[in-house]
Amino acid sequence: MQWNLEQIRLFVSVADQRSFSAVARDSRRAQSAVSNAIALLETDLGVSLFDRSSGRQPRLTEAGGALLEEARELLRQCERLDGRALALMRGQEARLRLAHDEAMPYQPVLDSLEALDERFPSVEVQLASGAQGDVARKLLERRADLGLLFHHEQMPEALERRVLGSVEMVTVCAVDHPLASEPLITRQQLARHRQLLIAPQQSGYPGGEQLSPQVWRADSFYVMAELLMRGLGWAWLPRHVVQYPTYQNQMIELSSEWTPPALVVEMVWRRDEPLGPAARWLAECFTHHLKAIG
pLDDT at 201: 46
Q: Residue 216's CB: how many other CB atoms inside 10 A?
A: 17
CB 78 within 8 A of CB 5: yes
Length of the chain: 294
> Which one is the CATH code of 5-88: 1.10.10.10, 2.40.110.10, 3.90.400.10, 3.90.550.10?
1.10.10.10
pLDDT at 174: 95
Distance CA 100, CA 174 (A): 27
Give the model confidence (pLDDT) of 230-250 as tens digits: 999 999 999 989 988 888 889
* Residue closest to 46 by CA, chosen among 34, 29, 68, 63: 63
> Is residue 32 packed enough to be buried (19+ CB in 10 Å), middle (13-18) or exposed (0-12)?
exposed
What is the DSSP pairing of strand 195-198 with strand 234-238? parallel
Read off φ and ψ for residue 139, nearest 5 degrees.
Answer: -65, -45
Beta-bridge mates of residue 270: 159
Distance CA 104, CA 135 (A): 11
Give the SS3 label for residue 72.
helix
Topology alike, domains 93-166+264-293 and 169-260: yes
Residues of the chain with pLDDT under 50: 201-202, 204
Please report, for the chain, the start and end positions of each structural domain, with discontinuous segments joined by +.
5-88, 93-166+264-293, 169-260
Cis ω for the linkage preceding 200 (within 30 of 0): yes
Q: What is the DSSP string of 193-235?
A: S-EEEESSTTS--TT----SSSEEEES-HHHHHHHHHTTS-EE
Which residues, other chains included, contact 111 with Cβ-Cβ below 8 Å and sequence gap of 6+?
A: 285, 289
> Which one is the CATH code of 169-260: 2.60.40.730, 3.10.270.10, 3.40.190.10, 3.80.10.10?
3.40.190.10
Fold topology of 93-166+264-293: D-Maltodextrin-Binding Protein; domain 2 (3.40.190)
Phi-psi region of 5 (alpha: psi -120 to 50; beta: other; left: phi over 0): alpha
